[in-house]
């Protein structure tokens, strides 16, 4: 796999989002299948591994730590703090908490679960808007000074918030949803990252499966699949968005690649500071995604893709009202 810059590191141009193994898209995979997926990704050239305190209530970090501890030197390990699952009256509740003491505690817990002495890249998963971004980033900078983390990242923040944070301590990466059907980063934050020398890490780069051209009936999704709360995956809305896939499939054929590879190749062609991190429970899909690294797209295909799938042609918001209130990203 080709390499891209991520702070002090060179990483595979496509990273691995590990969340899917334990969180968000139905039941966690078993131990053997999870190990098989992680090691197959490593062998295929993925070197940026992305997890978080939130995912599976720490289970995903623990899985990554178990499987990859003997290959630690081969990866750039990233995790996230500031959002976790707690229990209130016996029920799980997702909590955003950016207070310095909370971030310090979560880092200690993450280090233990990940079986490592240092986390390479540690993101603030969400900006807690009740805490100045300067205070949260200041706490992360103290973790750098203590040698517990090597670099700081932010997730789902605006260009203005990025600049405020970067003034406190250099930000190495900013992570936000970005794909053909979620183009919000193009408003301002992509440019801000380029100006500041910040890598842009694109999560959900295949549009949460939509651009893989395999999910036709959202009624088949697991009852706890997070897509069930997303307006674009409401059955009637999703059925209308499916009309975009027939011409999209033809463009993939024209580019001699799979639909998922086309989505990832589009991102890789957009700018050299973009690193997509698709996730999957399937070894076959992980290997297919890696193949996007060698896909070459002409200007005609790039233009056709952007005209076909964009903020004007996709129906529905990317998040519901609650999730939208939790992010700080620019919106069209």
Active site residue 248: no
Please pick, among 55, 123, 178, 238, the residue that the annotation labels catalytic.
Answer: 55
Q: Which two tokens stand for residue 91?
A: 């029920």
Assign residue 19 a region (left: φ > 0; alpha: ψ between -120 and 50; beta: otherwise): alpha
Name every residue whose Cβ is closer than 8 Å to that of residue 11 and which is 6 or more positions away in sequence: 3, 4, 47, 48, 76, 275
Strands of 171-177's sheet, edge to edge? 16-17, 48-50, 76-81, 119-124, 149-155, 171-177, 199-203, 274-276
Name every residue whose Cβ is closer than 8 Å to that of residue 112 and which is 6 or more positions away in sequence: none
Are 200 and 271 spatial neighbours (Cβ–Cβ below 8 Å)? Answer: yes
Pairing of strands 171-177, 199-203: parallel
Q: How far is the CA of 240 from the CAs of 128, 132, 206, 214, in angstroms?
A: 35, 41, 18, 15
Q: What's the CA dihedral at 17, 22, 26, 30 to 10 degrees?
A: 120
CA-based R_g, the chain, Å: 19
Q: What positions carry a catalytic annotation? A: 55
């Amino acid at each position: 796999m080709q390499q891209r810059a991520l702070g002090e590191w060179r990483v595979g141009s496509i990273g691995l989002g590990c969340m899917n193994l334990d969180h968000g898209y139905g039941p966690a995979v078993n131990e053997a299948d999870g190990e098989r997926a992680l090691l197959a990704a490593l062998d295929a050239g993925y070197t940026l591994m992305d997890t978080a305190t939130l995912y599976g209530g720490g289970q995903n970090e623990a899985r990554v730590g178990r499987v990859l501890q003997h290959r630690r030197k081969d990866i750039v390990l990233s995790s996230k703090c500031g959002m976790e699952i707690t229990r209130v009256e016996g029920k799980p509740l997702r909590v955003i908490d950016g207070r310095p003491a909370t971030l310090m505690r979560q880092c200690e817990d993450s280090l233990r679960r990940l079986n490592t002495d240092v986390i390479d890249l540690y993101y603030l998963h969400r900006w807690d808007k009740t805490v100045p971004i300067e205070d949260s980033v200041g706490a992360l900078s103290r973790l750098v000074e203590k040698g517990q983390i090597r670099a700081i990242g932010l997730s789902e923040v605006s260009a203005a918030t990025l600049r405020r944070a970067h003034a406190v301590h250099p930000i190495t990466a900013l992570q936000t949803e970005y794909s053909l059907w979620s183009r919000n980063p193009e408003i301002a934050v992509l440019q801000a990252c380029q100006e500041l020398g910040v890598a842009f890490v694109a999560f959900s780069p295949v549009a949460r499966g939509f651009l893989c051209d395999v999910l036709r009936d959202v009624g088949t999704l697991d009852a706890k699949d997070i897509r069930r709360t997303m307006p674009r995956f409401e059955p009637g809305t999703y059925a209308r968005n499916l009309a975009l896939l027939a011409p999209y499939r033809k463009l993939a054929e024209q580019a001699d690649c799979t639909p998922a590879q086309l989505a990832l190749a589009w991102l890789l062609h957009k700018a050299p500071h973009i690193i997509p991190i698709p996730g999957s429970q399937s070894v076959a899909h992980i290997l297919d995604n890696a193949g996007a690294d060698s896909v070459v797209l002409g200007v005609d295909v790039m233009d056709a893709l952007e005209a076909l799938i964009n903020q004007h042609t996709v129906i529905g918001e990317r998040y519901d009202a609650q999730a939208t209130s939790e992010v700080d990203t620019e919106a069209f």
